[in-house]
Amino acid sequence: MASTSPPSPPPPVTPIPPPPAVLRRLIDLDTAVSLRVYTLFQPIIPFPVLKSLEYSGDGRLFFPIILSGLLATTPLAALAACPKTPSTLLLINLLIGSLLDLLIIGLIKHLIQRPRPVYNKHMFLSFSVDHWSFPSGHSSRVFYIATFCFLYSNQVIEVLLLKYLKFDSESAIVRYFVVAVGLWAAITSISRVLLGRHFLLDVVAGGCLGVLEGVIVLRVLNCDNLNSWIAGH
């Protein structure tokens, strides 16, 4: 009878110097407050609601959606063409920021190696760095999406809501779309603490990184700038 291999153990922790006293106190406070918030809201918010929010910000869902959108709206030969359609530009820029987010979060998790809360249970790990808690990848991802939708609001509304989803330009969904995405990002980030996946500082740091990534894509790492750089070399 075939034997099943045991689950892979966490990656070895690289010894690091103990944090300064002020940082140690901050970590202890963060740990205590996060546990208090987790314990307080456990009986109140249904677990399926928190899991639904977790799935909504999962990269395993997000990346296939972007790639499917690209393939559905743009022929492969047109991806390398210039100029690109507004929908193609939008999706490529969204993909660039998502890859940037994946790299930054993975690198910081590997360098910091903060263990997740001890009460974190039944979590699926996609990569070895997912054993670590700081910063929150879900928070960075959803705040990147929210920032992207804010900075590219005209293009997102025109391409997604008006052209493809056929909403009326005066509908409440169109008028409050950016606000709704921002609320979704905030609630999803908070749910990471309520699920016991992260500490509060993980979520705050992840959210700040997501906003920064959105600004970087707008100002530096976007399709137009990359095409200009490639053409210049």
Active site residues per annotation: 138, 198
Check the CA dihedral 192-198-201-202 and report its sign: negative
Largest CA distance in the chain: 64
Angle (CA) 155 52 11, round 5°? 100
Q: Residue 31: CB partners within 8 Å, gap ≥ 6?
A: 117, 199
Do 139 and 206 contact (CB within 8 A), yes or no? Answer: yes
Do 138 and 192 contact (CB within 8 A), yes or no? Answer: yes
DSSP 176: T
